[in-house]
């Protein structure tokens, strides 16, 4: 459910319409602004009208039939403009009113509606990214040179060990002010590389797969938007710097109700690990562009052609957290997804696999074209 934002009188507000474009191989967030009038003491999703955009400029339509439709599906407070203004995440439909092939949220919706919602799955995404200057050099790196070897930078403190913390702090506060499911942030292994986590936090709050993935995309929009004010570029490349440097991933933590249950967890986790192994290639196909550059078997990764799991093993495809191994129930961490994943696609792919669902669900509607594009 979207949180109600309550006002005392009629007012005009800015709505930032946010959507996922059709860029290949990695989709990007886009947005545009509209003023709407609120004629009540609160706003609901139904009060935010549909809107349109030129799909021929976003790789989502041809010029001779370029109208695409934005349908708001979730809104949060606009933590950049402040006041009563809002951010509205939208799904994209074509001019006929049909789900657009680039609408990956619809893929996840289809999977959930087909029975995956009964799994009561929750996710936690660890989104890594790298900050670059306008000259396309990692933030904090010496000009025409390299910083010291990796080691001091992970969760580092101090000028020599971090770069870009001002943006990271601004982003974290913006996520909190927008009431997103932000778990935390930290500096990563390579200088200029950071991570934020979105998803289940252990609080008494209602969360589900759609809410978590929606919040992930809104958090990414906030990151790119705030980067404008700090004059830096955001990279979600899987291997932003070649050589002996860590890549960037989006480790995905997940569990189902059966995995979290002490009476069924051990058997369920064992079965799920077998299903993940059997479907390894299907997952790799949608886990990000140029994934092979990151999944080499070095730098805390498992080789892309190999599947293995292990307790506390950050060099495995699937890490079994020590608490899960000790208790016999809990969650797993999929360490294969890259930094440039689409969280809707990753969540849908995991739900189909761990639920032993019909593979046709993942390619439903016009999404067969979409999955084929993502797989290239």
287/213 Cα distance (integer angstroms)? 15
Indicate whether 375 pLDDT > 80. Answer: no
The two three-digit tokens of residue 1, written as one number: 């459910």
* φ, ψ of residue 12 in degrees (nearest 5): -100, 135
Residues 270, 369 share a domain: yes
The answer to whether the beta carbons of residues 28 and 22 sit under 8 Å apart is: no
Number of domains composing the chain = 2
pLDDT per residue as tens digits for the range 150-199: 999 999 999 999 999 999 999 999 999 999 999 999 999 999 999 999 99
CA distance 219 to 18: 11
Contact criterion met (CB below 8 Å) for 42 and 237 = no
Q: Does residue 180 sit in the same domain as residue 91?
A: no
Confidence of residue 372 (pLDDT cuts 50, 70, 90): very low
**Are 248 and 294 a contacting pair, CB within 8 Å?**
yes
Residue 8 pLDDT: 57
pLDDT surpasses 50 at 368: no
Looking at residue 3, its pLDDT comes to 60
| Across 25-34, average pLDDT | 97
Within this chain, do residues 118 and 77 fall inside the same structural domain, yes or no? no
pLDDT at residue 279 tops 70: yes
Handedness of CA 365, 368, 369, 375 (dihedral sign): positive
pLDDT reading at 308 higher than 50: yes
Instruction: Identify the residue with better confidence: 39 or 49.
Output: 49
Which distant-in-sequence residues (6+ apart) come within 8 Å of 371 by Cβ?
Answer: 285, 286, 362, 363
Tell me, yes or no, whether 198 and 58 share the same domain.
Answer: no
Residue 107 lies in a domain: no
Average model confidence (pLDDT) across the chain: 93
237 in any annotated domain: yes
* 229 and 267 belong to one structural domain: yes
320-327's contacts with Cβ under 8 Å and 24+ in sequence apart are 320/269, 324/265, 324/269, 327/262, 327/265
| Same-domain pairing of 84 and 175 | no
CA-to-CA separations, 193 to 137, 159, 172, 186, 272, in angstroms, rounded? 12, 14, 15, 9, 32
Residue 340 has pLDDT above 80, yes or no: yes
Q: How do residues 62-116 score in pLDDT, each as one tens digit?
A: 878 899 999 999 999 999 999 999 999 999 999 999 999 999 999 999 999 999 9
Peptide bond into 25 cis (omega under 30): yes
368 and 230 share a domain?
A: yes
Is the domain of 94 the same as that of 230?
A: no
pLDDT at residue 62, as a whole number: 87
The residue-averaged pLDDT of 317-321 equals: 98
pLDDT bucket at 365, cuts 50 / 70 / 90: very low
Express as a percent the part of the chain with pLDDT over 90.
Answer: 88
Kindly report, residue by residue over 133-160, the tens digit of the pLDDT: 998 999 999 988 899 999 999 999 999 9
**pLDDT surpassing 50 at residue 338:** yes
Q: What is the CATH number of the domain that holds 93?
A: 3.10.20.70
pLDDT over 70, % of the chain: 94
Which of 80-94, 133-147, 209-223, 315-329 comes out lowest in average pLDDT?
A: 133-147
- Show the domain range for 363: 112-375
Same domain, 178 and 222: yes
- Point out the domain boundary residue: 102, 137, 166: 102
Q: In 182-207, which positions are buried (b, 16+ CB within 10 angstroms) versus exposed (e)?
A: bbebebbbbbbbbbbbbbbeeeeeeb
Statement: residue 11 has pLDDT above 50:
yes
């Amino acid at each position: 459910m979207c949180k109600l934002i309550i006002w005392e009188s009629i007012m005009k507000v800015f709505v930032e319409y946010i959507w996922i474009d059709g860029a290949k191989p990695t989709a990007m967030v886009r947005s545009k602004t509209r003023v709407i009038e609120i004629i009540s003491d609160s706003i609901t999703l139904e009060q935010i009208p549909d809107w349109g955009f030129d799909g021929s400029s976003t790789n989502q339509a041809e010029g001779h039939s370029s109208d695409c439709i934005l349908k708001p599906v979730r809104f949060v407070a606009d933590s950049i403009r402040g006041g009563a203004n809002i951010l509205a995440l939208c799904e994209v439909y074509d001019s006929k009113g049909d789900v657009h092939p680039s609408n990956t949220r619809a893929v996840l919706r289809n999977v959930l509606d087909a029975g995956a919602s009964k799994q009561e799955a929750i996710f936690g995404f660890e989104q890594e990214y790298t900050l670059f200057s306008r000259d396309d050099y990692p933030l904090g790196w010496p000009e025409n040179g390299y910083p010291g070897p990796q080691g001091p930078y992970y969760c580092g403190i101090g000028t020599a060990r971090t770069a870009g913390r001002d943006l990271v702090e601004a982003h974290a506060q913006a996520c909190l002010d927008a009431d997103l499911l932000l778990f935390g942030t930290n500096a990563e292994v390579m200088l200029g590389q950071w991570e934020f986590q979105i998803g289940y936090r252990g609080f008494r709050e209602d969360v589900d797969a759609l809410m978590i993935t929606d919040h992930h995309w809104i958090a990414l929009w906030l990151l790119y938007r705030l980067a404008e004010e700090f004059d830096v570029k955001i990279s979600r490349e899987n291997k932003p710097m070649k050589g002996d440097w860590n890549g960037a991933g989006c480790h995905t933590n997940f569990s189902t109700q059966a995995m979290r249950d002490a009476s069924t967890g051990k058997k369920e986790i064992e079965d799920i690990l077998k299903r993940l192994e059997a479907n390894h290639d299907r997952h790799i196909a949608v886990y990000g562009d140029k994934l092979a550059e990151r999944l080499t078997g070095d730098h805390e990764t498992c080789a892309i052609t190999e599947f293995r799991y292990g307790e506390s093993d950050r060099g495995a495809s699937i890490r079994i957290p020590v608490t899960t191994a000790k208790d016999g129930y809990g969650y797993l961490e999929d360490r294969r997804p890259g930094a440039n994943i689409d969280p809707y696609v990753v969540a849908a792919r995991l739900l189909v696999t761990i639920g032993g669902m019909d593979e046709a669900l993942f390619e439903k509607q016009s999404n067969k074209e979409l999955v084929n594009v993502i797989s290239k």
